Structure 1
Amino acid sequence: MKKIIYGALIFSGIFFNSCSDNDLDPTLSVNKDVTAITNIGDLKGLLAGAYDRITSANYYGRNMLIFGDVRSDNAYANGNSGRFLTSASMDMTNSNGDADAAFLQMYAVIANCNIIINSTIEGDAVAIDHIKGQALALRALVHYDLLRLFGQQHIGVGGGDLNSLGIAYVKQFLDVKDMKPKRSSVGEVKTFIYEDLTKALSMMNSSLDGDKKAIRTVTVNAIKARVALYFGDWAIAKAASQEVLDNSGARVLLASEYADSFKGSLQANSIFELVFSADDNRSNDSLFQIYNDTAYGDIVVLEDLVQQFSPLDVRANLITVADKSRLRNTGKFIKSDINVVLFRFEEMLLINAEASFKLDPTDVSALTNLNLVAVNRGALPYVTVSVANILLERRKELCFEGFRFDDIARYKMDMPVVDEIKQTYDDLGAAGITYGSYRYAFPIPLREMNANSNTVQNKGY
């Protein structure tokens, strides 16, 4: 019998009278009517529920960030508690627990968003549209994350393309005409993401923006900049990131501020962060427990990352030697109830630098923005801009935040092997995993394959 997500029946204390325990199966193939959404308070509750789902350990509370580093040359899984071994080795099966849990959690967030987006209630139209705009932006972000994990854009000789299989882009909580949605192409998913973000900006009102703990109008542009960078849409990436740099109210942190910035929330460089309070922290399932020298402590830093930092670079101090001479990330996610920052000013600077360089290699703003990050970390300034220098600075600035795998993949590179013993993946005997390998994508979970006859499994699984 398929597992039921009982928690999906309740969104921040709102009960849907028409639902029963069997109404919200974790597959995409089941949608049921919702009748209890009657006022703006309900919408706010649903949005709070969406944010809460994002903080799950199966999503941005831990796993999504780990996936981006443990599959790269930044970190490895030591098997201390058996977590992330198959993710690190890129040797999954269609019954893999990491893939299954991420898939379910992300589509659960989308369910919340779709109920908000498609609701019809009376009240303050401007305020209602603002909430719906936030939900549209979140829906775009989550589908983007699903595509990064499960899409086929990197699969095949030389990699895939926009015609490759993407993921199912779900826009309705109830759609009797599409109870078993098919996977859209990568290009179609990209179009849907941009459409959602554009509509979000048209519906939101900056005067109603809250603090950095919720989607603001500037956050929508931050999401657009990140998506555009991934797809190589350089003009969009530059314009969106510039909008954030100009209007977010955030700034780059100084070297003297850097270490302490990870000890508290709502820092000067933060654009959007997820709340992890003492009341709802993930304890043993937290990023702190998986990175630090704890009873879990499965994710260990590779020496090659440490070698990238110059002696005065303050970022090197975030990595320390712990028990058994293992290198640990002890500077970021230092305890369970610290907020997770999803977007920050320095990422936007690096996106803007890369987009500027790609559009015009002589654009001086590329070097300026690249060095705004490097110099404010105590590192030597770059003399020239190159893809290699940009990726190096991204690796140093954004390590342990889930970016490294995608940076390697979007430039169609093989997974680097910097430690043949600790990096446990191989591709049928090859020294590492060659770009285009089916292992660059997660498998569609077996339970979804069994429940949705219209879905197609990824190559290799």
Structure 2
Amino acid sequence: MKIYKYIYVVLLSFLVLSCDKNLDIVPQDVLDAEIAITSIEDVEKVLLGAYATLRRDGLYQESMFFLPDLLADNLRIGQTNGGSFRTEANWQYSSGDDIDVWDEAYTLIFRSNSVIENANRFEDSQIKNRIKGQAYALRALAHFDLLRYYGEEYGRNSERRGVPVVTSFSATPPARETISEVYDQIFDDLFEALVLLGDIDKEIQEDGPHLMDLRAVNALLARVSLYAEQWQDAADYASEVISSGTLSNPTEYASMWSDDADGEVIFSVRFATADEGRLGNSLLDNGRVSSFTLTVDAAELYDQVNDVRYNSFVLLNPGSNPGDDVYLPNKYPGRGGQSGLNNAKILRLSEMYLIRAEANANIVGQDAAAVADLNELRRSRITGYVDEDLTGEALDEAIQLERRKELMVEGHRWFDLRRINGSVERGADCRGLTVNCVLLSGDHRFVFPIPQDEILANPNMRQSDGY
């Protein structure tokens, strides 16, 4: 699927068919030309089609969900794995391999563009603001996720190659923009979303945190600012979100992962039925086997007695011999008796505490504020926790450790190691079907190759170094 072939979609006015619930959608790439958009309410149905894209394998069912943990040191290939993501886990990918992020993220971008362009056909109104604001936020999310995988680095002002920025339909095949230019577009979109969503006709989150509202936009701004190392901005946006919520207590926290409560979730991708995908099945199928298992190193980070995250995230499958024990990822246990059927939690309040802590740790004189956030998060997770007083390198290491523990199997670890110039060191967990053990900082494989189909079809596309 070449990203510029969607230019023809604008020739069609289209709707996305919806069922009873907001995100129970049947998406279609090209819809019947006879179905016309005649009202701003019709545009909202197209917006729901954009949200549906997030459920695809290349986005928040697999590649933006658990693959970053498998690429790093939180997950490893399980013995029941039939071949899924083995190439990626062992960093053996080439331009001929495709994790589908490229296609699916640009599908989301084109659908978001269609919402914006079609909404502009109608008079300004609060409902138009609500619809367009969400589309800008989704477009920013898609460009950012592309940058995380395919951008040659994360520096805010970098002139190295990023990804194509696509904001309108054009017959000209797009070229890669610089990292700086991609950030410019992401921030512009998020700032526009803030303005629009500040003047809307009704509350966006009517049926759970499954749509991008003001709080979610501020949370995404905090995350993007962290990657860009705009420390004060990251702290400020995180503070805006933190001021509007509270961390989950241990009971609420455990319920959040089975979707019995929303808890501290700011934005999630809704999987309403098994037909839409069981994102947890690759991690814990029928309660005892897994295509991917937790590394021993990751599982043993937790206080098994006092940390609520251990029982929420980890299931021990005892082996018959010493050393044969397997730790299974239990973060997505399913709901309603259906294994693996859970919503993908994309933005959570705990991440905002960690973002603010890391940002303040990088601002001169703010170590005390950073450690205060770290201690508050730990108190909400660990029974009997005693506050620590950390500064300097010890504080930096503690924050990264807590990110690893708190955000386990939520699609962060690989990107975190990239942005702090870390290496992947698998140690004793490098065994079985996991055969490559160390990926040093700066290795070209920290940047994913542009799919070869795109290179062949697009004369303006350039491959990243090393592929």
SS of corresponding position for 1:65? coil
Deviations 1:368-422 (A, max 9, x none): 2111211111163333151100001111111010111111111111112232325
Are 1:417 and 1:423, in contact at CA under 8 Å, matched by a contact in 2?
Answer: no
Q: How does 1:301-380 map to 2 (within 5 A)?
A: 301-310=294-303, 311-317=305-311, 318-322=313-317, 325-334=325-334, 335-378=339-382, 380=385
CA spacing shift, 1:35–1:203, aligned 2, 3 Å: farther
Aligned length: 426
Residue 362 of structure 1, CA deviation: 3.7
| Uncovered stretches (5+) of structure 2, i.e. residues with no partner | 19-27, 320-324
CA contact 2:455–2:463 (8 Å) conserved in 1: yes
Partner SS state of residue 144, structure 1: helix
Is the Cα–Cα contact under 8 Å of residues 360 and 370 in structure 2 kept in the other structure? yes
Q: SS of the counterpart of 2:38?
A: coil
Answer yes or no: is the 8 Å Cα contact 1:276–1:336 preserved in 2. Answer: no
Which range moves more in the overlay, 193-202 or 59-68?
59-68
Distance 1:340 1:96, change over 3 A: same
Deviation at 1:313, TM superposition (A): 1.1
Identity of aligned residues (%): 29
Q: Which residue of 1 aligns with 2:190?
A: 197
Counterpart of 2:162, as a letter, is: G
Aligned equivalents of 1:265, 1:213: Cα separation in 2: 15
Segments of 4+ moved more than 6 angstroms:
1-5
Q: Tell me what 1:436 maps to.
A: 442
Letter in 1 for 2:116: I
Alignment of 1:30-69 (within 5 A): 36-69=36-69
TM superposition score normalised by structure 2: 0.84
Q: Does 1:412 align with 2:421?
A: yes
CA RMSD of aligned residues (A): 2.8
DSSP-derived class of the 1:327 partner: strand
Contact (CA 8 Å) 2:424, 2:439: kept in 1 or not? yes
Note closer, same or farther for the CA distance 1:123–1:161 as it changes in structure 2 (3 Å cut). closer
Q: Distance in 1 between matches of 2:426 and 2:378?
A: 26
Alpha carbons 1:151, 1:167 under 8 Å: kept: yes
SS at match of 2:276: coil
Match of 1:288 among 280, 295, 299: 280
* Alpha-carbon distance between aligned partners in 2 of 1:102 and 1:138, rounded to the nearest angstrom: 15
Whether the aligned pair in 2 keeps the contact of 1:346 and 1:373 (CA below 8 Å) is yes
Secondary structure, in 3 states, of the residue corresponding to 1:372?
helix
Per the alignment, residue 389 of structure 1 pairs with: 398
Taking the aligned partners of 1:393 and 1:44, their CA distance within structure 2 comes to 39
1:458 is aligned to 464
CA distance in 2 between partners of 1:11 and 1:279 (Å): 24
Residue 251, structure 1, aligned to residue 246, structure 2: yes
CA distance in 2, matches of 1:458, 1:222: 30
Instruction: Using the TM superposition, give the Cα deviation of residue 57 of structure 1 relative to its aligned residue in structure 2, in angstroms.
Output: 2.3
Letter in 2 for 1:117: I
Paired letter, 1:438: H
- Residue type of the alignment partner of 2:455: M
Q: 1:313 to 1:114 in 2, by over 3 A?
A: same
Bigger relative contact order (CA 8 A; separation at least 6): 1
SS class of match (2:281) = helix
> Relative to 1, partners in 2 of residues 1:95 and 1:308: Cα closer, same or farther, differing over 3 Å?
same
Provide the TM-score with structure 1 as the length reference.
0.85
Q: 1:24 to 1:377 in 2, by over 3 A?
A: closer
Which residue matches 1:151?
A: 151
